Every structure is written in C-alpha cells, then in structure tokens.
Structure 1
Amino acid sequence: MYAPTVLTALCLLLLGLSIRLFYQGMRKNDTEKVLSRLAEGQPQLVAEKPLWVGLERAFLRAGLGRPTERLGLWLMLWAFGILLGFALGGWLGLLALIILPPLGLRLYVAWRYQRRLKRMIEQLPQLLDHTVRSLKSGRTLADAVLGGIENSTDPLKTAMGRVQRNMLLGVNLPDAVHDFAELYDQDELRMFALGLKVNHRYGGNASELLENLIKLIREREQGARQLSAMTGETRMTAWVLGLLPVLLVAYFMLTNPSYMVGMWRDPSGQNMLITATVLQVIGSLALWRMLRSI
C-alpha cells in the first residue's frame, strides 16, 4: 500500500534534485570556477556554509578532496540504492540502505584519516631534520621549512602544500603552520606550530628548538609503540569478544541455515535475535571506547 507512495516521493525528489543541479550548473560561469580554485587551501576564518564545514574538513583531512563537488551525484546514487533496497528487501532493505551507507562512509573516512595522519607524523622528523640542516647552512626559517616540504614525500608533502599556498597568499609561516595543525588536530603538529610562533615573536635559536622537537616526537613514538606492545593481549581479547558472536552466526548460517531461519520466523526467537543484535552493538561500542582510552 505504501510502496507506490514511497516510490513516487523518491522519484519526485530525484527529479527536483536533478533540475536544481542543472540550474546551478547553468548559472555557474567561468569566473566563479576560477575564483573557487584560487580560494582552495586558504585559511577559512569564517565558514560560509556551516552545514558542510564538518564534512569537507573530514574529507580534506583524509585526502579525499571536497565532497561537495559531486554531492548531487552521490545523493542520486544513494537514493537509487534506497529504491533498490526497498524493491528487493522491503522495509528492512529500505532501512538498511538508509543507515549503512552513511555509517560505512564515516568509518572509511575515519580510517583513511588515521592512516594518513600516522604516516605524516612518521615523516615529520625527517622534514624537521632537513629544516635544521638548512638553518645551519645559513637559510632563513621560512626558506628552510619550505625546502623541507619540497624534499619530503607524500602524504606529508601533499598535506603541507596547504602551508605553501597560504604563504604565497601572504600568510606568515607561524600562522600558516598553525592553520595546518588545527586542520589535522594532532599534538605533534601543534607543537611544531607553537615553536614557530614563539620563535617568530620572541626570537631565539630555531635550530635548537627544532632539534628538541625532533627528539620529543621520536620519544612519543617510541612510548606509543611500547604501550601498543604492552596492551596487545588486551586488544586481542577485545577483538575476540567482539567477533565471536558474529562468527558463530555465520557458522550456523553456513552449516544449518534452517536453524537461524526458524528462530527468525518464531516471534520469541525473533525477539531474542533482535535483543542479541542490540546487545552485540552496544558491547562492541563499549569495547571500542575502552580500547581508545588505552
């Protein structure tokens, strides 16, 4: 009864979205495209679109570009997937395709960001070491940092291209590095920005400051590795506790699917399965929070 109504509403939504995108594409002239490209990488002191700032920040930190460039296309594909899920799986498929794609995207972006950030922190001492050598050879601090960026490798080189662009636009080095550190929200990068700001305001031996920062970053990395080794058993226990129920359900579905299907068709069995799923999700989230606090 409700299926034609839902399909009609989604079709109208897609039609309106496509008309709006076509209208926006017709109005966007070449001048606006050039201005938008020139504005990429500038420090954004005031957010023009508060609704999308968090989404663009997450994608930018993960190295995935700006999501709003193809937002209409992804929304249309998502709506098509919702229609397909409703056609194949009914209300359960509709609910699954409404919830699972955004959740999967969120987890993927967070995983990309953590992996990229870890690699950047591993490369940061090499950049600082190159900067120290350039300072001792007589170059200025700004030239030494820019030279270190040029001689670094991806992903740090690509990420710190933001610093280079800001300096070309007239931003001084401490503010450009501070903007970069706030974007990626990492203590090592903030210490780098703070050291540059202190040196810029009060002076001092910049090479000694950067050498101490290199030592501090390497000591933090060594401590993190020791902590990871000491808590390996705890993390493995959490993984086993979280995956064991899922693996058992998969085993039953492969060896005796009628057992799980029979439970699902029985009202009391269905309630038990739903309750077990909710408890499994809550337990997994609790284990995840406990692991993050280590």
Structure 2
Amino acid sequence: MLVIAVSLLALVLGVWGLHAWRGGRADRRALVERLAGEPGSGPRQAAFAGLDRRVRRYAWGRRLAGRLAATGTNLTPGQFTAAAAGVIAGAWLVAAVVLAPFFGPIAALIAGWTAYSFLEWRRRIRTERFIAQLPELARVLANATQAGLALRTAVSMAAEELEAPAGEELKKVADAMAVGHSVEDALGELQQRLPSRELIVLISTLVLSSRAGGSVVESLRNLTVTLEERKETRREIRTQMSQVTVTAYAVPVIGIGSLLLLDKIMPGSLSAMTGSGIGRICVLISLALYVVGFTLIRRMSRIDV
C-alpha cells in the first residue's frame, strides 16, 4: 500500500508539473508574440513559430517584419518567407515545364520580385488610405486641442474615433506614448511605417507645438484645408495617369503572351530557341528591353505632389 501511495503521489506530481510546464511555455510564447507585435498564437502562427524566430535573427528579417507591419497584414516574417519560397519554387517548376528549362530561373526571379512588389503595393495602398484620412485626423486633433485636451489624450481620442488604417496606427502611437516614449519618437515611428509628405508636415506641426507651444489649433485648421486640396489634386492626377499605368503593365503581359502563343503554334520552339547560346542571349536581351520599357513607363507616370 505504501508503494502504491507513493507511486500515485509521484504520478500526480508528475502530471501537475507537466501541466505547469506547458502553461509556462504558453505564457512565454504569448508574451514573446505580444512584444514582437504578432497578431496571436493560433495554429497557423504556432506552425511557423520556429521559422519566424530564425528569420528575425537576421537584419533582412527584421526589415521584413517592419515592412509587414506597415502593410497591415497578419502575416509574420516566417509565413511570408515560406509563402515566397513556395511561389518561387512553383514559378520555376511551371515555367520549366510549360515553356522551357531555360525560363525556370527567370520565372523564379520574377516571382521573387512580385513578392517584394506585393509588400510595396500593400504598403502604398495603406499609405494612400492613411493620407486620405489625414484631413479628418487634423480636424479631430484641432477640436480636441481647442477643447483643452493634451496631445497624448487627443491622439488616443482620434485613435478611437477614426477607422483603419488611421485608427490602428494612432493606437500604436498612443500605446508607445503610454509606455514612456516621447511624442517625437512615437510619431517618428509612425512616419517610418507610412512615409509621406503630408504626414511629415502634420508630424512636424505636432512636434513643434509640443516643444515650443503656440497656436497649434490655428496651424491644424490651416493644415486641414491644405490637406483637403492636396487630396483632390492627387485624385485628379491618378485619374489622368490611369491609362499610362495600365500601359506599363500591359507591356510585359504582351511579351509573356507572345511566348505562350509561339509555343502553342510551334510546339517545342522555345526549347529549340533556348538550346543555343545565341538564342539565350536574344531572349535575355528581349526580357531586358521589356523591363526597361516597364520601368520607363512607370517613371513617366509617377508624379509627386
């Protein structure tokens, strides 16, 4: 009986210790994810937790985490790296099978550039949405400041009233100031996440007013009118340059479509063309010309206001 009792006690203590150990690990994982700015600890995040930690060890992984935070997506650096690697490998395989083995590395490079461009596109879209909310943001801050509220309180109130992405970004600013960051540092982090000229002007106005005081209400009122005018100007320019933007993307699509059409009309022609050195050089020159054309058209359609 004594042996049985000791055995049962040992089993109970072992189960309790295992439960406490698992609970401690879960609490530590939740704390690390919260400090890292990750959305949660669901099954998808747990599946990529190891890869995410390895990616964050490198400088490019930390920069990738910053870019993902600026896009407003729930992807972690590990998830994005795994997805990008899968897309690159799939593009390599499809291009090698459908077109010719020579086009596999080229398709992989295009897929990698597409993954990077996806982040830039999401970041640009989020920045444009934030810029569109800047007049309302300046108006809310001006009203709150005129009512006698401090800047920290005004930012917190604006974070609650405005919709995403302005509400989400201002909540991050308010949380940073709540843990001891200065107004300049918190707004500087916002500027790094969503860089734009309009935001720089707004941040400069808020920082100078917090340092030296002055009629911040009148400055914000004038800034609201200016931001409304710039918003309308940007909208008109985007409408007028939409045809040029479509042309820029139509140029590479026509080139890829020509390759597929040529291989469809004459099966095996791409393999025969890329089987010699002269054919490979011609293909590379053609692809380079398409890239140059795409870049020049995009540069001509980019007008900074």
TM normalised by structure 2 equals: 0.69
Name the amino acid aligned to 2:35: A
SS in 1 for 2:301: helix
Q: Distance in 1 between matches of 2:259 and 2:121?
A: 26
Report if aligned partners of 2:156, 2:174 keep a CA contact under 8 Å in 1. yes
* Deviation string, structure 1 residues 8-40 (Cα, Å, up to 9, x no partner): xxxxxxxxxxxxxxxxxx9x9456535434534
Report if aligned partners of 1:62, 1:116 keep a CA contact under 8 Å in 2. yes
Deviation, 1:223, is 2.4
Paired residues for 1:59-70 under 5 Å: 59-65=68-74, 67-70=76-79
SS in 2 for 1:160: helix
Say yes or no: does 1:155 pair with 2:151: no
Say yes or no: does 1:280 pair with 2:290: yes
If you compute each CA radius of gyration, which structure gives the higher value, 1 or 2? Answer: 2
Deviation, 1:94, is 5.3
Paired residues for 1:227-242 under 5 Å: 227-231=237-241, 234-235=244-245, 238=248, 241=251
Q: Distance in 1 between matches of 2:162 and 2:279?
A: 59
TM normalised by structure 1 equals: 0.71
SS in 1 for 2:113: helix
Name the amino acid aligned to 1:103: W
Deviation, 1:249, is 4.4
Q: Distance in 2 between matches of 1:78 and 1:269?
A: 27
Q: Pick which of 205-214 and 89-98 moved more.
A: 89-98
* Deviation string, structure 1 residues 199-220 (Cα, Å, up to 9, x no partner): 1111112211111221221222
**Structure 1 alignment gaps of length 5 or more:** 1-25, 42-46
What's the counterpart of residue 33 of structure 1? Answer: 29
What's the counterpart of residue 195 of structure 2? Answer: 185
CA distance 1:123–1:31, shift in 2 (3 Å): same
* Deviation string, structure 1 residues 63-100 (Cα, Å, up to 9, x no partner): 12463354775587579759966996885475256424
Deviation, 1:146, is 1.4
Q: Which among 172, 176, 181 is matched to residue 166 of structure 1? A: 176
Paired residues for 1:196-211 under 5 Å: 196-211=206-221
Deviation, 1:227, is 3.1
What's the counterpart of residue 122 of structure 1? Answer: 132
Deviation, 1:128, is 1.9
Paired residues for 1:1-294 under 5 Å: 29-30=25-26, 32-40=28-36, 49-65=58-74, 67-70=76-79, 73-74=82-83, 77=86, 81=90, 92=102, 95-96=105-106, 98-231=108-241, 234-235=244-245, 238=248, 241=251, 243-252=253-262, 256-258=265-267, 261=270, 264=273, 267=276, 271-292=281-302
CA distance 1:206–1:74, shift in 2 (3 Å): same
Report if aligned partners of 1:119, 1:155 keep a CA contact under 8 Å in 2. yes
**How many residues of Structure 1 are paired with residues of Structure 2 in the alignment?**
262
Report if aligned partners of 2:94, 2:104 keep a CA contact under 8 Å in 1. yes
Q: Distance in 1 between matches of 2:186 and 2:274?
A: 61
SS in 2 for 1:185: coil
